[in-house]
Amino acid sequence: MQPFSKAMAALLIAGTASLSAGSAALALDDQQKKEMGAFIREYLIANPEIMLEVQDALEKKQQEARIAQAANGISANRDALFSSPSDITLGNPNGDVTIVEFFDYNCGYCKRALSDMDELLKADGKVRFILKEFPILGPDSMAAHRVANAVRLVAPEKYPQFHRKLLGGEVRATEDTAIEVATSLGIPEQALRASMESNPSDPLVRQTYQLANNLGITGTPFYVVGDEAVFGAVGYQELAEKIANIRACGKATC
């Protein structure tokens, strides 16, 4: 194999010539491609940590793209995020900071994050917390959501308790388990099923899916804190810090 410096020199000369001629591609002959490939392979085998650096750079770039898409989505969909009549609001309805959580009743991370929400609401009386159902984990999640929507319509005052009991439960959320939770709170099953029949939630789900697509949401939980997207179950402390930042500088990250 020729020295790499010669191959690189040939590459640079070819690139300069291509640019000067207005060529759209940098041409290498077969021998140069073979030599370049062999060098790159040997270098990567000798320095495999570079692949980790490349992976880190890729993940950082992808995360930056997700954050940018979410920021644009938040700005363009404020009413759907913060003022939808189909969502349940917990905490202070006139709070100075609003958090929106997209969740699925069968999401394990959402179950663990339930205590984060409760701790925030207990510690801070000025937080407005919006629950946005986002059933993405299969037919059982969709069925549980339909029951939850009926609870919202039939007995909205009991929805917070229903939410905590179903999401905090150990069994999988299904139509049957959701009905069982609702009836244990004194909500008549007949009223729930009548509401499910007369007020199907499919249009609401489609709206939420479209909103999630606009924000680039691919999993749950997903939070909007002020004007910032928060991906994943980051924990009470990080959410509390973002709330404090909004009050201090007007942004979730100062």
| Per-residue model confidence as pLDDT tens digits over 62-97 | 778 788 888 888 999 999 999 999 999 999 999 999
pLDDT of the residue at 26: 56
Q: Which two tokens stand for residue 110?
A: 């959402």
Range of weakest confidence among 32-41, 121-130, 186-195, 210-219:
32-41
Look at 114 and 73; give whichever has higher pLDDT.
Answer: 114
The contacts of residue 243 (CB under 8 Å, 6+ apart) are 97, 99, 120, 124, 127, 225
Asked if the model's pLDDT at residue 14 lies above 80, the reply is no
CA–CA dist 19, 8 (Å, integer): 16
Nearest 5 degrees, angle CA 28-CA 31-CA 35?
95
What average pLDDT does the segment 222-243 reach? 95
- The pLDDT of 46-52, averaged and rounded, is 87
Q: What per-residue confidence (pLDDT) applies to 33?
A: 83
pLDDT at residue 19 greater than cutoff 80: no
Is it the case that residue 137 has pLDDT exceeding 80?
yes
The pLDDT-based confidence of 17 (bands split at 50, 70, 90) is very low
The pLDDT, as a whole number, for residue 35 is: 82
pLDDT at 148 over 90: yes
Strand, coil or helix: 228: strand
Report d(CA 244, CA 213) in Å as an integer: 29
pLDDT band at 12 (very low <50, low <70, confident <90, very high): very low
**pTM of this structure:** 0.76
Cα(33)–Cα(16) distance, rounded to whole angstroms?
Answer: 17
State what percent of residues in the chain have pLDDT above 90: 67
pLDDT of 8 above 80? no
Give start-end residues of each CATH 3.40.30.10 domain in the chain.
79-249
pLDDT of residue 37: 85
Instruction: Tell me: pLDDT of 54 over 90.
Output: no
Q: Could you give the C-alpha distances from 114 to 64, 117, 235, in angstroms and in order?
A: 27, 5, 10
d(CA 45, CA 47) in angstroms, rounded, equals 5
Fold of 79-249: Glutaredoxin (3.40.30)
